[in-house]
Every structure is written in C-alpha cells, then in structure tokens.
A and B are shown apart, each in its own frame.
Chain A
Amino acid sequence: MTIAPGLLPEGFRDRLPPQAEAASRLLHRAIVAIGRHGYDRVTPPLAEFEETLAGRLKSARSQDLLRFVDPVSQRTMALRPDITAQVGRIAVTRMAHRARPLRLCYGGPVLKLRATQLRPEREMIQAGAELVGVSSTAAVIEVLLVAIEALEVADVTGITVDLTLPDLVETLASGALPIDPDKIDAVRSRLDAKDAGALAALGAAAYLPLIEAAGPVALARAKLAGLGLESRLDAVDAIAAAIGDRATVTLDPTERHGFEYQSWIGFSLFGAGLAGEIGRGGAYSIVDANGGEEQAVGFSLYLDPLVDAGLGQEPRRRIFLPIGYDTAAAIALRAEGWTTIAGLAEGDDGRALGCSHLLGNYGPTPY
C-alpha cells in the first residue's frame, strides 16, 4: 500500500510559516528568561537506553515509551517522553559534584507513545527548569516565579497557578480522616476526578469537603481548617503572597493528574484562552547512583498550545529587491528590521512572494 504524499503518522505535523518561527521564538524567549535567573542550560539527547530512561521516569512506564532496538549496541533504546528525568540523571551523575542548589534549564522536543483524544500531538516542545538540592517553600516560590516570568515573556496573559498537595490523601488517611487501606487508591482516583457521587458510594463521604475546597486559596484554606494541615497551608499562603497579582492562585488539595511522583507540593499552569494545562511542576526527589535521594523542585512548560493560539508571531515588513539592486541599501534595510526578498530572475513577482514593498530608486515603495 502506498502512502499519500505528505501524510504523516498520527500525532505528528509540519510547522509552517509563521508558526514554525513563532515556536522557535517562544522557546528562545522562555529559555533566555529562565537563564537570567541563573539556570544553566543542559541538552540531553533525544534517545537513551530504555533501562536508564525508564528507571528514572516516575511518570511513565516502559510500555509508555517509543522503543526500538539500537542496531549498533543491540540494546533497547527509547525516545524521551519527558526531559525532566534526563536532567535529574545529569544532576546526580555528571554534575553530582557541583555545588547545590544546582540550577539547570532545558528545552526541546519530546515524544509520547500515545496521544490522547484531548491532546492529539505525540511530539511536543518542552521547556523548563530544575532546582536541585532543595525543596523548601523558598525554592518552590523561586521556581514558580521563574515559570511565571517565562510565560509572561512568551506573551501568555491571565496566568493561573493551581497548587496541589500530592500526598494529602495519605496524610489524612493515616490521621484525621482514616480510611480502609484497600480503598485508598480508589478514593484518590475519585478525588482526582472530583467525582462526588462515586466518592460517597465508596464510603469516603468524609473526603467530600476536599472537593468543595478546590478554588481560590482563601476559600480553600477556610474549608481545610481543622484537618491538621496548618504547616502546609501556611506554605501555600506564603506562595500565594509571593506570586501576588502576577497570577491567579488557586488550591486544589486533591488533584493527582500525573502528580504521583511529586512530594509535598505540585502545581499546574494555565493561561487565558489556552485550552488545557500549559505547564506543571512541583517538588520531588531524584534517586542518585547510590540509591540515595536528592530533593528538587522544577517546572515544565508545553509551548505548542501557545503557538497554536497564535502567540509569538511578529509582523514582518517584507520588501522585494529587483535584480541589480543596491547591495548596501539592502544591508541598511535589513539593519532597520526589513526582511528582504531578492529577485533572481526577470519574472519574479514580489507581491506573490509576500512583499508589501518594492525597493525603488528612491527607497521602499509600497506595491
């Protein structure tokens, strides 16, 4: 069977102008903004041995990786579905001797084995930063402020930071709101879906206030009073205060949604007019070579929804240079910000090539 010209595998696409340029512009702006906070860039490879990649990914299992046998080493390799784990590997191996806290940032494509109906892309651009060696409230605040700044320079407006407390259910189950250990997984999954009906049916109605608590921080705090969570909630308050009016801060105490590997705090990032989540992060621990653990906080941004929403595009003034044009004048035009399209043959039509102006004897002339 032949494949129609141009057909790509499901979940893959070509980026054309102007989105292709917008995508690289947004990535560049975000990385530069992150870098100014002292995060040094690392570039891990696109593929690794499955064993080392899957071992560090707490968010994905081997069967969620696109794997193949490396014809050279005859070992199974996998394409990365996430860069965070690779940065963690670098931090505890090659950069284990560097002073802590270690600030690293990254940006590049990742590949998911399966797309979801809601996110059909299997290839996406991920950018982010990891702060290795600490996971204090101060570290979380720094990372969140860096993430917000990276989104701001990428033209995202109306930013919402949704905080979550990933180990809350375990904490409560062994303390204030005991539940049958067999039921913890089911309760957690229903809390994640905020499925009030199913939660009540599981006999965990005591947890319903947690669903009701999801929302603006002040309101959530009031509803969580008296559950022995004061130190956590104080940290949440400190974070909300530090963010101030740069973003709306909400607290969703029981969100799971891929936060399984986060420790005491996780967050999701949203932007006005952008479908779904555009970033996420939190505190976690990295397993080092000796089996020990190192604390870290980090975030990842997914830039494709921004590109799809038309962010990062800049209007270009395109001018056509007819054959025999003045080279010095063209250099001057480019220095002024013009984009020049040079004629190569007599019949070349500047208008058809997207130019608004023509370089005439007296400078740029509108078509």
Chain B
Amino acid sequence: MAEPLIIAIPKGRILEEALPLLARAGIKPEAAFSDENSRALRFATNRPDISLIRVRAFDVATFVAHGAAQLGIVGSDVLMEFDYSELYAPVDLDIGHCRLSVAEPVAMAASDDPREWSHVRVATKYPNLTRRHFEARGVQAECVKLNGAMEIAPLLGLADRIVDLVSSGKTLKENGLAEVEVITQVSARLIVNRAAFKTRAAIIAPLVEGFRAAVAQKAA
C-alpha cells in the first residue's frame, strides 16, 4: 500500500473552523488533535490512508510545497507571501476570513496621503508580499521582518507603518493605529502539492471534490 497522505493543518486561527469542514469531507482526527496541550505532531484519522500534522501557518505552505505533506489548509495571505510555484489552491474553503492591510499611527494617518509615498518603511510578517504590493504602485518598501506583535513597531519607532492581518480592527485601535489601505481580502484555502496532485490523482481528486462539496454544503 502507498504511503499515507498527510494533510497539514495550521495551529491557531483557522484550526477551529477547519475541523467541521474536515468532518464534512469525511475526515475525523483522533481526539488528541484538538487538544492544544498535546505534544504529538502527527495524528491519525478515521481513514487509515490519511494522517494530519499540526504546524505553524507559514510552515503549512512550506511542507506542502516541498511535498513533505500532500495537502494542507492555509490562509491566502501565506500563499501570496511565498508564491510557491508547486502549490495548487483548488478550493476556497470560505473560512478564516480577514484582510491584509497597511496601518499607521492615527496621528500620522490624519495628514498622510498614500498617493504621495515614494518610500515606506514597514514592519511585517509578509516582506515579499509587502514589497511586491508597493512596487506595483511605484513605491519602494523597506521591510523589517517581524514574527509577531507588529502593532508595537510604530510606537517604538522601529517602522512607521505595518502590514498585518486585520479582522475586527480592535488590536489596531488599542495600539493607536489606523488602517489606511487594504492590500487584499484573505480566506483559507485547501492547498495541494503539484506533483502529488498528478501522481496520486486517484486518491487526491476525490478528496478535493469532497472538500469542494463540504464548502458548498456549508454555504447552502
């Protein structure tokens, strides 16, 4: 029998919403998977040919792009940041909705006109996406890569602006920041490794179809 398929699921934000979708697609993980305290990294499911791994969102894309996992669930923000050529995103899972935005201190935003920017210094988890976004509109972006707590960067003078995920805008507000530009809307996607998609089509194609149906069922 062939190696089991591995589906990479991100910790945090998307995990909770992903579980009902997995269930509708016919995949039920073992109990330890939902236990935040479990130290296990790999989990069995009700299907002997499928197991799950739980990793950081950015690593989901990396595992799947390299073929170490064959499928994954990840936000479109991460896909845009890496722009891996070996990833397919055949299903928009319609979960994990938020947006990726540029924010700056409220006082600065009051007098700032984004049309006049030529150079910006930005703290972000998404340096590639940020650079591409600003380049496309003729602005040179100098990115300071951070892994979290972006909101503090403008306050401490690390960078004037940040590019980060925004859902309610509460965190921005609490840190005295204002959203000045939306780069893109974000939602979670089912991703598939390109080579696996071709070479194991017999098992992956129905699975992808299952997720597609699960999303349609939820929407209905």
Contact = CB atoms under 8 A, between A and B. Distances in A.
A215 B205 contact: yes
A214 interface: yes
B76 A270 contact: no
Output the residue of A194, A212, A214 with the most chain B CB within 10 A.
A194
A197 B84 contact: no
B131 interface: no
Interface string B6-35: 000000000000000000000000000000
A248 B88 contact: no
B92 A200 contact: yes
Contact of A198 (B76, B84, B202, B212): B76
Given A158-B199, A270-B198, A219 B88 contact: no
Interface in B71-129: 76, 79, 84-92
Contacts of B65: 117-118
Contact of B88 (A117, A162, A193): A193
A98 interface: no
A211 B85 CA distance: 16
Output the residue of A118, A197, A201, A270 with the most chain B CB within 10 A.
A197
Interface residues of B, number: 28
Q: How large is the interface on A (under 10, 10 to 19, 20 to 34, 35 or more residues)?
A: 20 to 34
Contacts of B87: 193
Contacts of B140: none
B54 interface: no
Contacts, number: 75
A20 B49 CA distance: 36
A194 B89 contact: yes
B195 A270 contact: yes
Contacts of A162: 198
Nearest to A217: B201
Contact of B201 (A158, A215, A272, A277): A215
Contacts of A277: 194-195
Contact of A276 (B86, B89, B205, B209): B86
A196 interface: yes
A118 B66 CA distance: 6
Given A196-B90, A200-B92, A216 B205 contact: yes
Interface of A: 116-118, 158, 160, 162, 193-198, 200-201, 211-212, 214-216, 219, 248, 250, 252, 257, 268, 270-272, 275-277
Given A195-B189, A196-B89, A197-B189, 20 more contacts: A116-B85, A117-B65, A117-B84, A194-B90, A194-B192, A195-B79, A195-B89, A196-B92, A196-B189, A197-B89, A201-B185, A214-B90, A214-B197, A214-B205, A216-B201, A257-B85, A275-B67, A276-B67, A277-B194, A277-B195
22 contacts: A117-B65, A160-B199, A160-B201, A193-B87, A193-B88, A194-B192, A195-B88, A196-B89, A196-B189, A198-B89, A200-B92, A212-B209, A214-B197, A214-B205, A215-B205, A250-B201, A268-B198, A270-B198, A275-B66, A275-B67, A276-B86, A276-B194
